[in-house]
Amino acid sequence: MSELADSKTRTDLLNRLKRAEGQLRGIQRMIEEGQSCMDIATQMAAVRKALDSTYVRMTVCFMQQELSHRLASARADAGPEAQIESVLEDVQELLGKIR
Amino acid sequence: MSELADSKTRTDLLNRLKRAEGQLRGIQRMIEEGQSCMDIATQMAAVRKALDSTYVRMTVCFMQQELSHRLASARADAGPEAQIESVLEDVQELLGKIR
């Protein structure tokens, strides 16, 4: 499967992951300081949500990229339908990972 | 809501979070190196799973701690049933955060 070509999306994903990394460090601090389970849980749920939306962001970007790329190069022997099907199979695999 | 009293569990949670933090750094490296979306997705799904099991670990530890603590101090005017109900309300709130 392809890598992400769009540098703006890559920067966006990197920033989101860096933020999530900082949140994880914050949670470790909360545990060390003996903060309440509920407060820690709130922060953990926030990181989880942030990672999920990063995942969706990456999947959508991948779809856009692959559809525009493959539809542009679709030939008669493997027309747009086959190209779309192939991209959607990859997307299904991506989404299946966080099922 | 209480903090986690058991230092062994706290250490376990801290180690899990530290590992997840390292995984997130690894994913950033993968993006910078232009690795494939599917490989990045696999790693992201792994972090998500690791965070979820950390969350479950914390919730179970909280339940054990609160049940043993509150049942030991249950008095006649607020017997074990009321104590258990109160703990389960907290657990429901914890689990609701990642619904």
For the residues of B56-91, what is the DSSP string, one character each? HHHHHHHHHHHHHHHHHT-BTTB-HHHHHHHHHHHH
What's the complex ipTM?
0.86
Interface test with A, best of B2, B3, B86 (most A CBs within 10 A): B3
Block means of pLDDT (10 residues each) for chain A, length 99 residues?
Answer: 85 96 97 92 94 92 87 73 88 88
Residue A1 is predicted with a pLDDT of 66
- Region B25-53: what's the mean pLDDT? 94
According to the model, what pLDDT value does residue B76 have? 57
**Running DSSP on this structure, what letter comes out for residue A2?**
P
By Cβ distance, the residue of A17, A36, A93 closest to B3 is A36
Q: What is the pLDDT of residue B53?
A: 92
Which amino acid, one-letter code, is at A57? R
Question: Considering the entire predicted model, what is its pTM?
Answer: 0.86
Q: CA A62 to CA A91: how far, in whole Å?
A: 8
The reported pLDDT for the residue numbered A77 is 61
Take residue A25 and report the two structure tokens written for it: 């460090």
pLDDT of res. A68? 86
pLDDT at B77: 61
Q: Residue B1 — very low, low, confident or very high, per pLDDT cuts 50/70/90?
A: low
**Is the separation of the CB atoms in A36 and B2 below 8 Å?**
yes
Provide the pLDDT for residue B41. 92
pLDDT band at B4 (very low <50, low <70, confident <90, very high): confident
- Partner B contacted by A52 (CB < 8 A): yes
| B76 bridge partner residues | none
Q: Which residue of A has its CA nearest to B23?
A: A21
| pLDDT value at residue A6 | 84
Q: Which residues neighbour B43 within 8 Å (Cβ) at sequence distance 6 or greater? A: B23, B26, B27, B30
Res. B16 pLDDT band, cuts 50 70 90: very high
Determine whether the interchain pair A54/B44 forms a contact, defined as Cβ–Cβ distance below 8 Å: yes
